[in-house]
Amino acid sequence: MVQPSDQDLDRLSGIKSQVADEALVKRRRGQIVTAAVELFSRNGFHRTTILDIARKAGVSPGLIYQYVADKDDVLLLALLNVLDSYKEEIPAALD
C-alpha cells in the first residue's frame, strides 16, 4: 500500500498526534495502518480491537493512542491509505 504523506493525512483527516517528530509519526502510523487494513479486511471493523491492531503492528496498545485518539481514527487513516493506493494503481492499470 502507498503511504499518504503527513501533510495529506493531517489536512484530510485532522487527526492529531501526541508525538512531535513527523518522521516517527509517519512510520508508526504506517505500521498501525498496515496492520489495521489487514485485520479490518479479514475480521471487519467491529470485531477488530486496538489490542489486535497493536499485536499485529508489533507495538503496545498504549503506543497507538500516542498517534490516534481512537479506533475510528485508525479506520479513517486506513481508508485514506486505501484510497490513496487506488489513486496510484488505477491510472497505472489503465495505461
Contact 32, 68 (CB under 8 A): yes
C-alpha cell of residue 80: 485514506
- Given a cut of 70, is residue 5 above it in pLDDT? no
What is this structure's pTM? 0.80
Which of 94, 89, 90, 85 lies closest to 8, judged by CA? 85
| pLDDT band with cut points at 50, 70 and 90 for residue 57 | very high
How do residues 8-26 score in pLDDT, each as one tens digit? 555 556 899 999 999 999 9
